[in-house]
Amino acid sequence: SQELEQSPQSLIVQEGKNLTINCTSSKTLYGLYWYKQKYGEGLIFLMMLQKGGEEKSHEKITAKLDEKKQQSSLHITASQPSHAGIYLCGAVGGNTPLVFGKGTRLSVIA
C-alpha cells in the first residue's frame, strides 16, 4: 500500500520567515493533495497537483510536484500566525482512495 512520509514532523518559525514542508511517497504519485487542519477540526483543501513539474500558488503558499522523485514540497513565504496548523499531504493512486501522511505541525511565533 502507498505510504506518505512528511518532514519535518513539526516546525516552529518566527513570523515573517519562509519555510518548506516535504512529502515523499513510497509509490508513484497520480495526484497529490495538500490540506491544512486546525487542531481538532476538519481538513481544509489547499491545492492539488497532478502533473510532474506542476507548481501552484495560493496567496503565500506554493506547492510543487516532482514526479520522478515521488515528492512534493509546500513552501510558505513570509509566514504569519494564520499559517499555523497541521499540514497534511494526501495521495491517490488509481482506484485507491486518498491516503495521508502523518502531518507537519507548524507554529508561527511573533
Partner 1 sequence: ETGVTQTPRHLVMGMTNKKSLKCEQHLGHNAMYWYKQSAKKPLELMFVYSLEERVENNSVPSRFSPECPNSSHLFLHLHTLQPEDSALYLCASSQAWGGGRTGELFFGEGSRLTVL
Q: Does 30 bind partner 1 (CB under 8 A)?
A: yes
Give 47 or 77: the residue with its C-beta nearer to partner 1. Answer: 47
Give 25 or 79: the residue with its C-beta nearer to partner 1. Answer: 25
82 DSSP assignment: G
- What SS3 class is residue 93? coil
Q: Does 42 bind partner 1 (CB under 8 A)?
A: yes
Interstrand relation of 19-25 and 4-7 (parallel, antiparallel or unpaired): antiparallel
Among 13, 27, 31, 54, binds partner 1 (CB under 8 A): 31
Q: How far apart are the first and last CA of the chain?
A: 41
Q: Does 95 bind partner 1 (CB under 8 A)?
A: yes
Tell me the one-letter amino acid at 68: K
With residue 34 as reference, give the H or E element that holds it: strand 31-37
Task: Please report, as ranges, the residues that interact with partner 1 according to CB under 8 A.
Answer: 4, 30-31, 33, 35, 40-45, 48, 88, 90, 92, 94-95, 97-103
